[in-house]
């Protein structure tokens, strides 16, 4: 069994807008994170709505590997993912429920890097983050997600 933590939380008010770090955010089932572009229907992929658009996560270890292996230095928020974790095997959570603090989420699919992410960051980001670009998740139960929260598999 594993247990990780939330290292950072980010939202953006609209597509391509800079990600803003927040200490706490409200997770709302069927909608997303309060104040985030996807919750408001203003994200780059909002036309393809569904549970995979509610929240995105990425491992801090993947961002660190990007620096080591591809010499690409991104800040955590540059990943365009909402929640940055440490010690969480995100790829293994597709189809599984997990908890961030008291908020229950379900992994929907891998959040593979796209050309849009590369346009907003740096050349080479897309191939360097294949299969470690994060996780798209659905929010199952409403609540607050906070920096420092434990992340663990649901029982």
| Complete edge-to-edge strand list for the sheet that includes strand 32-33 | 32-33, 24-28, 143-146
pLDDT tens column, 2-15: 999 999 999 988 87
Q: Which helix (H) or strand (E) holds 60?
A: helix 60-70
pTM for the whole structure: 0.88
Better-predicted residue by pLDDT, 49 or 118:
118
The range of the structural domain enclosing residue 72 comes to 3-153
Residue whose tokens read 């959570």: 93
Mean pLDDT of 22-47: 80
pLDDT tens column, 54-85: 899 999 999 998 889 888 888 888 877 899 99
pLDDT tens column, 72-130: 888 888 877 899 999 999 999 999 999 999 999 999 999 877 766 667 667 777 767 77
- Number of domains into which the chain is organized: 1
**What CATH number is given to the structural domain containing 12?**
2.40.33.20
């Amino acid at each position: 069994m594993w247990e990780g933590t939330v290292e950072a939380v980010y939202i953006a008010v609209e597509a391509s807008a800079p990600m803003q770090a927040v200490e706490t955010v409200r997770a709302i089932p069927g909608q997303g994170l309060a104040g985030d572009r996807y919750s408001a229907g203003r994200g780059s992929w909002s036309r393809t709505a569904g549970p995979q658009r509610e929240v995105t996560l990425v491992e801090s270890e993947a961002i660190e590997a990007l620096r080591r292996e591809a010499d690409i230095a991104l800040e955590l928020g540059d990943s365009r993912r909402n929640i940055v974790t440490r010690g969480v095997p995100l790829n293994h959570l597709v189809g599984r429920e997990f908890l961030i603090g008291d908020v229950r989420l379900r992994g929907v699919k891998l959040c593979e890097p796209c050309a849009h992410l590369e346009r907003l960051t740096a050349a080479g980001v897309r191939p360097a983050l294949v299969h470690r670009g994060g996780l798209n998740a659905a929010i199952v139960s409403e609540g607050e997600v906070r920096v420092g929260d434990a992340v663990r598999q649901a029982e």
